[in-house]
Amino acid sequence: MSFMIDDEFDYNFLHSIEPLTQFIINNCNQFSNHQLLSEFLSIDSDFLAIEKLKAFVSLIGLSEERLKRVVSLVRFRYNDEDFRTEWDVKRISKTLQTDTSFKELLIEFFINGRNSRIGVEIPLYYMRNFKLTDPEFIADLSNFKYVERILNDNEIQGKYSNEVGAHVERIIQLRLEQYKANVNGNLRYEVQKEFPLLNKNIDFLIPSVNAQIILIESSYNITTGSGQSKRADQLVELYGILMRNNANHRANRIIILNYCDGFGWVGRQNDLHRIFDASDFVFNQRTLHVLDEVLNEYYPNS
């Protein structure tokens, strides 16, 4: 196992926050004004309202998760709602754009903290950075490096682990394209297509969903979690289906390669070994050559 090492990808990810950072700097003087903050958080402009909301709650130290709790309090206490699930940030942002009373409650809370209708029921710890009326705090929000660090630390541009997972799939696709260009121009493949036999989308099907020879699934984990056990359960189940299918169709055997990488697997050795056992071949960023070798053996060169 290894980290995904691609300095260009990391550089681009880190710097993707720069336009939003500059936008915050240009507009932070509006944050202590009720009307201007209301417009900032509820109107799509240079950035979508939801992007601005996510950045804003990070800057005042509230976080998206705590924002959900605050909104649940509003729905329960002020709207007399009976509900079983919380709103996600997308729903909160949309409501800010359409519900004036809801918006006024939140804007008052953001600016006045404990001295607001909502604030009297929120722990002071949650509001320790509610300093929009403090000129020194606004001055901090005029500092590019300060704002950039907060937005990057809170992964406003998307979870790094999720982006790495998507990038890993691009690495695999690039390897397939290189193989096609340098070894076998007849190589064909399809990406993210539902495979009826397994009743799920497969990351790569070679040559196609209707003429399967090789399936490729990818999994990259930086951290550990129960999701890895679920992933192992899924792959074990899929492999069992494939083995039964292959036993009945020996002339049209389908093999599965699992790309599995990331130090998050080091702490889930049992799940990692289960995936290994539920694969015809396993490879990662350090062993991409395994994909070439499998293609050499199983994919026709004519």
The tens digit of pLDDT for each residue in 95-128 reads: 999 999 999 999 999 999 999 999 999 999 999 9
Q: Where are the domains of the chain?
A: 17-153, 160-298
What tokens does 302 get? 């004519």
- Let me know if 55 is exposed, middle or buried by CB neighbors in 10 A (0-12, 13-18, 19+): buried
pLDDT digits (tens, 9 = 90+) for 11-54: 888 888 999 999 999 999 999 999 999 999 999 988 999 999 99
Name the strand (E) or helix (H) holding 261. Answer: strand 255-261
- Let me know if 91 is exposed, middle or buried by CB neighbors in 10 A (0-12, 13-18, 19+): middle
CATH class of the region 160-298 = alpha beta
Residue 249: predicted pLDDT: 86
What tokens does 94 get? 């949309």
Residue 242 has pLDDT above 70, yes or no: yes
Expressed in percent and rounded to 5, the helix, strand and coil fractions of the chain are 60, 10, 30
- Please list the residues that pair with 219 across neighbouring strands: 260
pLDDT digits (tens, 9 = 90+) for 184-195: 999 999 999 999
Q: What's the rounded Cα separation, in Å, for the pair 159 and 265?
A: 18
Residue 5: predicted pLDDT: 81
Residue 158: predicted pLDDT: 65
Residue 154: predicted pLDDT: 83
Q: How many angstroms separate the Cα of 277 from the Cα of each of 159, 205, 219?
A: 30, 20, 15
Cβ partners under 8 Å of residue 49, min gap 6: 41, 42, 43, 93, 96, 97
Residue 278: predicted pLDDT: 94
What band does 1 get if pLDDT is binned at 50, 70 and 90? low
Mean pLDDT of all residues in 159-177: 88
- Residue 52 and residue 41 in contact, taking contact as beta carbons nearer than 8 Å: yes
Q: Nearest-CA neighbor of 278 among 235, 249, 242?
A: 235
Cβ partners under 8 Å of residue 40, min gap 6: 27, 30, 31, 52, 56
Q: What's the rounded Cα separation, in Å, for the pair 254 and 298?
A: 10
Residue 227: predicted pLDDT: 87
